[in-house]
Structure 1
Amino acid sequence: MFFSVIIPVFNRPEELAELLRSLSVQSYQKFEAIVVEDGSGITSESVVRKFKNDISITYLVQSNQGQGFARNNGMSKAKGDFFIILDSDVILPRNYLWVLDEKIREKKLDAFGGPDAAASDFSSLQKAMDFAMTSFWTTGGIRGKLKDPSKYQARGFNMGVSKTVFLKTGGFADPNRGEDIEWSIRIKKAGFKLELVEEAFVYHKRKNTLISFAKQAFSFGRNRVNVSRFHSEAIKLVHLLPTAFSLFLVSMIPISMFFPSLFTFQLFLIGFWGGMIFLNSLIQYRSASVALLSIITSLTQLVCYGFGLVYEYLKKLVNG
């Protein structure tokens, strides 16, 4: 199978260099890479040039249109049988493409989504952010640990579709607001087989600061509502849990003043939740500092996602 690896990039030449380096040492070499520069002020042209002798690579430049449409541009120029879509801030394990080739054939997949992980050399904060985005205790576990892989909705940092799927469905319908989830739903509605391939994980370098991580989580909540504009069934009970958690935290203020016994019980629940996060993270990363940071990032992820969903839902009601 010949893969076309589609990589949109916006002002991230250093991260792109790491991704291209991991592509250049893949054990499976039947692929091309297409980098789509989406109106960047800091371009990646010099980075792409450095890998010309190591990878079959094409460099496309467009005005800023958003990552969804940048990916469409890349796929429209691709020569492969199967298109792999990656964000520029991921790094691939050496056997990533080999695993994909095997699993796509074995499962007879038309499309796939893969999970993400933190590499051992990532910073403590990046590991804590990875925990928050993948843990059972934050609802993040639905991203890459499903009992039924056919229920998975692929994310744009690590997903892929056959050329036939792209031609039949037309690619991404939105530039940058849950466009990956929307397309996943549409792919399944069109009768194609999309599943999680748990073995095809990527190392995902997330945001560099807690503030940028919070902004991203807030936008994820907003994005889920945006997807519901295309597919009314997109918001399920699990997506409301972060909002319920956030309202629970807010309720602790008045309850502490008027119902001290109930407030004590609330503190117990929050303490238990934080303790389980600390323990799980400690077991996973063997680092007390990462475990402590995981409590902070998990709290940030849930609260910001929850309020992002409420914000966009109210906006949807007002604007129609």
Structure 2
Amino acid sequence: MRFSLVVPTLGRTDEVRALLRSLTMQAVRSFEIIVVDQNDDNRLDPVIAEFTDRLSILHLRSPVRLCNHARNLGARHATGDIITFPDDDCEYTQDVLTQVDQFFRNDPATGFLTGSVILPGGTSGRSGRWLKHDSAIDSQTVWTCLIEFNLFIRRPLFEIVGGFDETLGPGTRFGSGEGQDLALRLLSHGASGRYIHRLRIIHPDKPVALNISRAFPYGLGMGRVMRKNRCDLATVARFLLRPIGGALVNAAKLDFPIARYYVMTFFGRLAGYRAPSPAAAAT
């Protein structure tokens, strides 16, 4: 098996159907899908049944509603050479797995690969400050060109570093940063990573109001990851100053909701960096 796609899901049906439909159009056929179902009902049964004749799907259930617990649970059942973790509301463009397969075959020294995001209509989204050019992943670029649903890792490396830190990410106090944390741990174990700008996965932008409500917990996650991975003080200062600048610029434009988003991001990052290490933090 070439690829294992681990899909944590909660509360969605139509979006899961759209993801699975997009996977039926991949030219590369050597992949398995591991759906980790955190719902307390059977809403996904008919959705998965629609595709069982076209896709290899393992349907797992988890009573624990934590995204990274679900990712790690699915990963323990994976058999593919390369493991990846699509969100349950994203879709693959037709050449995603072909691009990734060719890249890893041509560059056996690379341990993990990531790319960018486009909206369902094909335009660039607001998610992340994406680099406009290909780049190596290091402690600086990891913050501007990596997101979990577009992250492909050689499975032995994922297992060596212990998978995702389950004290980070959706459902926890530290609401984001688990992808950067994983990449930084991979780098610390000697793996190399690449960002390929043209490697795009479709994902919708969240409504502005939802982004504002997430600003503080997402900031907490980033601050926590910078502290946990002992990022240099210049990097920490840069990512604390950026939201202050964003708040001032948007306040000057009288765009107070976005200014509030940046303010909450700043306080979240600061609080996350200052927070004590969770007792159950992953290595």
- Place the TM-score, normalised by the shorter chain, in its bin: 0.7 to 0.9
- Quote the Cα distance in structure 1 between the aligned partners of 2:44 and 2:238: 39
Matches within 5 A, 1:249-260: none
- Quote the Cα distance in structure 2 between the aligned partners of 1:155 and 1:48: 26
Match of 1:233 in 2: 231
Deviation digits for residues 136-191 of structure 1 (CA, Å, limit 9, x no counterpart): xxxx23xx435633234332121121121122111012242422111110000000
- Answer whether contact 1:83 1:161 (CA < 8 A) is retained: yes
Identity %: 23
Number of matched pairs = 263
Match of 2:265 in 1: 305
Structure 1 residues 217, 146: closer, same or farther in 2, change over 3 A? farther
Match of 1:105 in 2: 105
Match of 2:187 in 1: 188
Matches within 5 A, 1:69-218: 69-108=69-108, 109-120=110-121, 131-134=125-128, 140-141=129-130, 144-145=131-132, 148-151=135-138, 152-153=141-142, 154-175=146-167, 176=169, 177=174, 178-207=177-206, 209-218=207-216
- Quote the Cα distance in structure 2 between the aligned partners of 1:186 and 1:222: 19
Helix, strand or coil at the partner of 2:71: helix
Tell me, which stretches of 5 or more residues in structure 2 are unaligned? 279-283
Give the superposed CA RMSD. 3.0
Amino acid at match of 2:10: F
Greater helix proportion:
1
- Quote the Cα distance in structure 2 between the aligned partners of 1:172 and 1:118: 26
Match of 1:219 in 2: 217
- Answer whether contact 2:247 2:262 (CA < 8 A) is retained: no
Larger radius of gyration: 1
Match of 2:63 in 1: 63
Deviation digits for residues 218-261 of structure 1 (CA, Å, limit 9, x no counterpart): 332111112134212175344223332256369x7xxxxxxxxx
TM-score, normalising length: structure 2: 0.81
TM-score, normalising length: structure 1: 0.72
Structure 1 residues 164, 218: closer, same or farther in 2, change over 3 A? same
Cα shift at 1:305:
2.5
- Answer whether contact 1:117 1:204 (CA < 8 A) is retained: yes
- Quote the Cα distance in structure 2 between the aligned partners of 1:71 and 1:212: 23
Runs of 4+ with >6 A deviation = 295-298
- Answer whether contact 2:125 2:205 (CA < 8 A) is retained: no
Deviation digits for residues 252-284 of structure 1 (CA, Å, limit 9, x no counterpart): 7xxxxxxxxxxxxxx5xx59xxxxxxxxxxxxx
- Answer whether contact 1:243 1:306 (CA < 8 A) is retained: yes
Amino acid at match of 1:196: Y
- Answer whether contact 1:68 1:174 (CA < 8 A) is retained: yes
Tell me, which stretches of 5 or more residues in structure 1 are unaligned? 122-126, 135-139, 253-266, 272-294
Structure 1 residues 174, 146: closer, same or farther in 2, change over 3 A? farther
- Answer whether contact 1:92 1:202 (CA < 8 A) is retained: yes
Structure 1 residues 132, 6: closer, same or farther in 2, change over 3 A? same
Single out whichever of 230-239 and 219-228 deviates more from structure 2. Answer: 230-239
Deviation digits for residues 272-298 of structure 1 (CA, Å, limit 9, x no counterpart): xxxxxxxxxxxxxxxxxxxxxxx8996
Structure 1 residues 17, 238: closer, same or farther in 2, change over 3 A? farther
Amino acid at match of 1:198: H
